[in-house]
Amino acid sequence: MCSNLDTDIPVALSKIKLDQLQFCKRCQGKPFVVIQRKDVFCRDCFYEYGSHKFRSTIGKTRKVKPGDRILVAFSGGAGSSAMLDMIEDGLNKSANHKKLMFSPTILYIRELNYANESDAIITQKTHKIVERLKKSCLSSMISSMEMIYQDKEKPTFVDLGDFDPLDKDCPIINDKAQSKFWSKINSLSTDTSKEDFLRISRQQLIQKVATAGNFKYIFVGNTCTKTAIQMLTDLAQGKGSQITSEHSFTDSRFNVEILKPMREFIKKEVLFWNILRGTEPVEWSTITTFKSNKASLMKLTESYINGLEHDFPATVYTIFKTGNKLKFPDPNGVICKLCKSVIDPEQRCSASNALQLSHQLSKNLDDVFINDGSDRILCYSCNNLVNEIKIDSTVSPQKLGIADYLLYD
């Protein structure tokens, strides 16, 4: 039953006038969080609500079987921190019907310093994440973003115990691969493209590790709010036909299927779960962290959705659920070489084709990106991404091309 402890009432509640104060909708106990107007929970009922929602999101698709090896992608952020806590909590439950039966391993990908923060801040954030992993009862692996360009015969991840960020001989610290990664990011002219490139790289690196480790599924901590943001950003970038395959519970575009057990939680629920459980997320700064809301399509959409969630939380669910109702693309369609989405075969007169034609007309036919045509199987959005690459005159044109951006196959 509900706790009667007189512990802190979070700030969100303290702003509600006393005469408006409601009580837990399940047990009439002391309120802890108001998700929507009438969704008031006390601490205990919110805990039950959250852990039940997590289990039922995984259970209702009947995908995950007892003993399945799952790679849990942990970024340190709010969504994946809550997911990791819910997994650990679920594995420790005494009641068999509530106990999670799969076999998880954590993967943390060490990001680069995209926002040019001081060494002290980067060290502090890395330390916090490593300490969180050490506290976990699960085995953990660490990789780094530059591992996408690691030599094929070398390892792309290490066990947590073998990771030392200051050790230059650590297999996942590779200066050459890192400078190649930076040169790719810097060759893109807009922050929207840079964010897209990072997202694709991260997805493919996780796939690389999951395939090497023979995992059955990958769990990612994408929340309902994050999914709504990404859906609208994808729409704005011309990826409307790919939304269903990328943002449904199961993403089957790659070798190892990606599952999203946090996708029914809005951001507010995740934040309060972390408060309730004393979990401290570590937000790694992105390319646009210290820039204006107009820096990229993603950031602009994020500020719009965050405002919506604050004032009209039900609207975020509506966007999320509308995305779920869209039809899946024809599985027999052509696959985009970069993001692995299906390109609708019916789109013979699509914006993608128009874009390609206009590039052919406006550029010399010997252009490096329009070589033999077979390399150019890209969706509209990836076409745009590749077209943004600034050609570096010091690099031989033959060395630039789609193949250079195919990170993983």
| Residues at the contact surface with Zn ion, assessed by CB under 5 A | 2, 24, 26-27, 29, 42, 45, 336, 338-339, 379, 382
**What is the Cα–Cα distance from 199 to 182, expressed in whole angstroms?**
14
Q: With respect to Zn ion, which residue has the nearer C-beta, 24 or 147?
A: 24
Least separation in angstroms between residue 69's CB and Zn ion is: 29
**CA angle (53, 58, 64) in 5-degree steps:** 160
Least separation in angstroms between residue 243's CB and Zn ion is: 13
Least separation in angstroms between residue 379's CB and Zn ion is: 3
Q: Are 59 and 75 in contact (CB under 8 A)?
A: no
Q: How many other β-carbons are positioned within 10 Å of the β-carbon of residue 75? A: 20
Q: Are 259 and 219 in contact (CB under 8 A)?
A: yes
Q: With respect to Zn ion, which residue has the nearer C-beta, 266 or 338?
A: 338
At 218, phi and psi to the nearest 5?
-115, 135
Q: With respect to Zn ion, which residue has the nearer C-beta, 42 or 145?
A: 42
SS3 labels along 234-245: HHHCCCHHHHHH
What burial class does residue 132 get, using C-beta atoms within 10 Å of its C-beta: 0-12 exposed, 13-18 middle, 19+ buried? buried
Least separation in angstroms between residue 9's CB and Zn ion is: 14
Least separation in angstroms between residue 222's CB and Zn ion is: 18
110 DSSP β-pair partners:
144
Least separation in angstroms between residue 7's CB and Zn ion is: 14
Q: With respect to Zn ion, which residue has the nearer C-beta, 26 or 277?
A: 26
Least separation in angstroms between residue 273's CB and Zn ion is: 15
Least separation in angstroms between residue 380's CB and Zn ion is: 8
Q: With respect to Zn ion, which residue has the nearer C-beta, 66 or 331?
A: 331
Q: With respect to Zn ion, which residue has the nearer C-beta, 300 or 379?
A: 379
Which structure tokens are listed for 298?
Answer: 């993603």
Least separation in angstroms between residue 27's CB and Zn ion is: 3
Q: With respect to Zn ion, which residue has the nearer C-beta, 171 or 333?
A: 333
Q: With respect to Zn ion, which residue has the nearer C-beta, 27 or 115?
A: 27
Q: With respect to Zn ion, which residue has the nearer C-beta, 29 or 50?
A: 29
Least separation in angstroms between residue 335's CB and Zn ion is: 9
Q: With respect to Zn ion, which residue has the nearer C-beta, 26 or 128?
A: 26
